[in-house]
Amino acid sequence: MLVLTRRDVYELVPMSDAIELVKRAFRDLSGGMAHAPLRTPIEIPDAHGTTLFMPAFVPSLQGLGLKVVSVFPDNPARYGKPTIHAAVLTVSPETGEPNALLDGTYLTALRTGAASGAATDLLARPDARTLLVIGAGAQGPTQAWAVLCVRPIETIYVFDRNSQASESFADRLRELVPDLRARVEVVEHLEAVLPYVDVICTATTARSPLFPDSLVPDGVHINAIGAFTPEMQEIPPETVARAYVVVDSVPAALAEAGDLIKPLQTGVIREEHIRTELGEIVAGTKPGRTSPQQITLFKSVGNAVQDLAVAAEAVRRALAIGRGQQVTLL
């Protein structure tokens, strides 16, 4: 079995490649050519954590396997450890043999960023120059990296209630993007910048909206990737109602996305307000942004097709150049 570390995955699959792989995976998912059952979450109340079991098969990319990812928000304060830990196991679609184990913590950040990069590419205004990242944890830097790949961002604003995370954001982003040219600025008050930005990425585990709808400007594009359970919520219901809403998977969004479930429960929106899946826009069967003034919202709860698309490509490239470590389990 091949074992790939974080560094291996980083060097094998650049963000720009991951964005294209995720687009293909979403296209196949929406077209019924990929398979991803709803993930199985297990709550660990004493630790305030959740562990998710996520299988998928993307035939066109030969991606078959399972991701196990844990989200434990108390880890940084309690143990000085990251909030997210994960591993990905890939399986040969020809023989059924487990053939690789990959660090899933970085891969999760990579593919989640890639989803936002794909959505930004398809939905944000072409002239977008300013980005606001809310949530400077493990997902924050890869969100920024992905947006930088598809838009000429000049300024990145960063907001996090954890000042240490905010202050280290620029250094962590430069580790991913050594030739970073955009200016990075930490902000303490969202109202100072939110009305003037072009793209917003939210990457938190909030259970109530992060900002009031009154601050949200026309024409903004929002990638909401943090709230992944029915109880969580990052985006104001009024903003959801004003936005052109695109999701990664309609069944998953209706089952898991608190940002949509809560407005649905209170009657602020109806199910038909969820206009399309991102994969349908990739395939050209549904439109993306229709005007410069339109607010676009990509709501993602994450889908294992993203993981297996990127993981399968990393394994292919590693085998081609002899990268990684081979271990024998028998």
Residues designated catalytic: 67
Q: Which amino acid is at 117?
A: G
Q: What are phi and psi of 65, to 5 degrees?
A: 160, -155
In this structure, the number of other CB atoms found within 10 A of the CB of residue 191 comes to 11
CA torsion through residues 177, 183, 187, 190, sign: negative
3-state helix/strand/coil string of the chain: CEEECHHHHHHHCCHHHHHHHHHHHHHHHHCCCCECCCCEEEEEHHHCEEEEEEEEEEHHHCEEEEEEEEECCCHHHHHCCCCEEEEEEEECCCCCCEEEEEEHHHHHHHHHHHHHHHHHHHHCCCCCCEEEEECCCCCHHHHHHHHHHHCCCCEEEEECCCHHHHHHHHHHHHHHCCCCCCEEEECCCHHHCHHHCCEEEECCCCECCCCCHHHCCCCCEEEECCCCCCCCECCCHHHHHHCEEEECCHHHHHHHCHHHHHHHHCCCCCHHHEEEEHHHHHHCCCCCCCCCCCCEEEECCCCHHHHHHHHHHHHHHHHHHCCCEECCCC
What three-state secondary structure class fits 64?
strand
Q: How far apart are the C-alpha atoms of 151 and 213, rounded to whole Å?
A: 25
